[in-house]
Chain A
């Protein structure tokens, strides 16, 4: 009796833990059979390159979500950071040393992202907001930051006028993949192996317990939001570098793609669980699926339906798993 129950639980938890990976392998196998052009080195590199910007956003989003929050301002932060970077390149990069300008542009864009995160974090920590408040506050911030991007550009698309040196290399070739991979490793260690990460999990799992354990809850929230904003800043750089231009609407919808990747990976919306390693899988699923649908030739509008359905499925499974976990543990 006990044995069968144990076995059932093991199958359940295996699916919970490795379901995404299994799904990923299945997609790859099916698409490779249907369309041999899919499983080629070039196409795979292409997928990684295209996934890197969303991936960076998803890394930041993971921190905020594990901490029990949400950052809907991420998309417009990507836009603002990109716009700032390109404007700096178009001025300093043209008149002065383009490589020095690239460094300044990167610092400025990441700082801008960090400041948006700082604002989110400070507001949420001050009002002691929970998940619900973090939705509304960061959504409002999305509008504000989006408006800032429109203001500084006058609503115009900005073309790059700087020499194609260092800045252009950031988003092309292998560099976006390496930036994403490097940051993913660092952030994985940061969340899984440090005091800061452990405290973040407690914060997300139960803010009251975290507070009553003597954790600096407010500071922790601010830091997590700042990290998320800085990731968005980096994403803005990668995108603008690749397309050699900036649009104040560039990042529109990135926050939802990032959330999708995080949730598909298996990090719960409720906070306190999941992690970067899961998000990496989620990013790959989202990226590979989008590419596979293209390669197989699915209509662009129909693709949106598939994307939406996948997110609903991921969140639904998360909810069901949580319910199952609770039922199984009642004593």
Chain B
């Protein structure tokens, strides 16, 4: 890709970018959110057009009008979010649009055979006649890869392919990626997780503010150097320290149960404390949070806020009892992306910006500006639609919205998912600031180092049960994993 420039209203997303990838290599592409990675890849894929510049594939200049033309040139795409139809089978998804027809009917046998061959070749074994909805995240990812391979992709772009995979599944994916490489397929690998870049890529390109900053073999560049180039300044990778002593108990959860999902969880949370919840994906962490906040009903158990037993049957009840939940999916449940920053912030506490039910424009602007500034949302104006913000800035708006609600107990479910290193660090600082102001925080995260680095105390969940609790002094990755594994052993014994 040569001299690519792309502008959006008010933003120059890519500025004269020249980017080349050697055949048969795994090429990492990193950059903060909003650096232009996705835009660049979308141009390569024909989703967007470049204003200037050209794409050269195997020495031939091309211009893709749509994704089909890109496909025809052997460029496949695997997005962060799955692009599969849940109610169809894996085989149907792989050959969607290109189902083989024989004698006027779909040749199912042939289609299934071909699809199965692709999956088998990738070294996985599950049946392609299963519906997507019944597959695990890793299997879905595989279906995406098989789909790309099915039209002879020579170049596959993977955009954050591991964001919804477990550690085990990630390892399997890496094996497959390496296998593809050995077969001469070129991979462009986009990720926020630098460990991944180091474990599979040969070369890494760093993109910042729409410009290529550097391209280096991964063997000759340090992790800190990459981060520095990404954010344009040196970043302290340690978790920021805070000076708080947890106070009295503000939330006391006893024997909380959601049939089949959360099994009798008991814990408490103190004023000014950051309580981490560790556990694998599917361990019931999110489900526990939803029950406390009132998004889902609980079947049994007691929730006490500041010493008083409270009845929480709805999210309104949760909020009224000073509990807020920052959900793990900010795009689906955190923000209305078509609405501006201001509206998204004030929605949790409209009475604060109104008099007898009537919105006061001036108050709303003033508060929204104040909270947006306090959280350091980078935007020209609070009237900016949140869809135009980067992931990190969107997350700050979601945080702002919950701070504006004046709740004292804040549950953060994956607060740093899909945001870049620089923004993560800012979120950590904000969490510390909140704890110092006397808010109590429950932090759920799949990234164990984050839980360990930020929490005063950690509870470990597995299969809906609380498996133990670790104080600051006892905290270590080994201790957490030990609790999870020990409990898996127990369960194995019970079965």
Contacts and interface: CB of A to CB of B under 8 A. Distances in A.
Q: Bound pair: A and B?
A: yes
Nearest to B315: A214
B9 interface: yes
Contacts of B334: 209, 212
Interface string B352-378: 001001110000000000000000000
How big is the B interface, by class?
35 or more
B333 A331 contact: no
Nearest to B42: A330
Given A212-B334, A214-B405, A331-B388, A6 B9 contact: yes
A233 interface: no
Contacts of A215: 315-316, 347
Interface in B328-358: 332-336, 338-339, 343, 346-348, 350-351, 354, 357-358
Interface string B8-25: 111111000000000000
B318 interface: yes
Interface string B317-330: 01110001101000
Interface in B24-59: 34, 38-39, 42, 47-48, 51
A199 B350 contact: yes
B170 interface: no
A5 B13 CA distance: 14
A193 B363 CA distance: 13
Interface string B99-125: 000000000000000000000000000
A214 B343 contact: no
Contacts of A206: 332-333, 336
Interface in A307-331: 328-331
B71 to A, nearest CB: 19
B383 interface: no
A167 interface: no
B94 to A, nearest CB: 26
A9 B10 CA distance: 11
Contact of A329 (B51, B385, B405): B385
Nearest to B48: A330
Which residue among A206, A272, A273 has the maximum number of chain B CB atoms within 10 Å of its CB? Answer: A206
Given A194-B359, A195-B359, A209 B336 contact: yes
A198 B314 contact: no
A331 B350 contact: no
A169 interface: no
A202 interface: yes
B10 A208 contact: no
Nearest to A195: B350
B358 A193 contact: yes
Nearest to B52: A1
Contacts of A202: 336, 339, 343, 347
How big is the A interface, by class?
20 to 34
Contacts of B280: none
Nearest to B318: A214
B7 interface: yes
A216 interface: yes
Interface in B416-466: none
A205 B336 contact: yes
A49 B338 CA distance: 37
A193 B361 CA distance: 9
Contacts of B325: 212
Contacts of B336: 202, 205-206, 209, 272
Interface string A171-200: 000000000000000000100011111110
B318 A329 contact: no
B347 A6 contact: no
A137 to B, nearest CB: 22
A214 B38 contact: no
Nearest to A330: B48
A211 B295 contact: yes
A190 to B, nearest CB: 9
A30 interface: no
Which residue among A193, A194, A201, A214 has the maximum number of chain B CB atoms within 10 Å of its CB? Answer: A214
A205 B339 contact: yes
A25 interface: no
Given A6-B10, A195-B357, A331-B13, A213 B348 contact: yes
B304 interface: no
A56 B333 CA distance: 34
Contacts of A194: 354, 357-359
B200 interface: no
Given A212-B295, A214-B315, A215-B315, A328 B8 contact: yes
Contacts of B401: 213
Interface string B362-404: 0000000000000000000000010110000000000001000
Contacts of A211: 295, 315, 333
A2 interface: yes
A4 to B, nearest CB: 10
A196 B359 CA distance: 10
A201 B344 CA distance: 11
Nearest to A197: B359
A6 B343 CA distance: 24
14 contacts: A5-B8, A6-B9, A6-B10, A189-B358, A193-B359, A194-B357, A198-B347, A206-B333, A208-B332, A212-B334, A214-B405, A328-B8, A331-B34, A331-B388
Pairs A-B, 10 closest by C-beta atoms: A214-B319, A195-B350, A205-B336, A208-B333, A214-B315, A212-B333, A216-B316, A213-B347, A206-B336, A213-B348
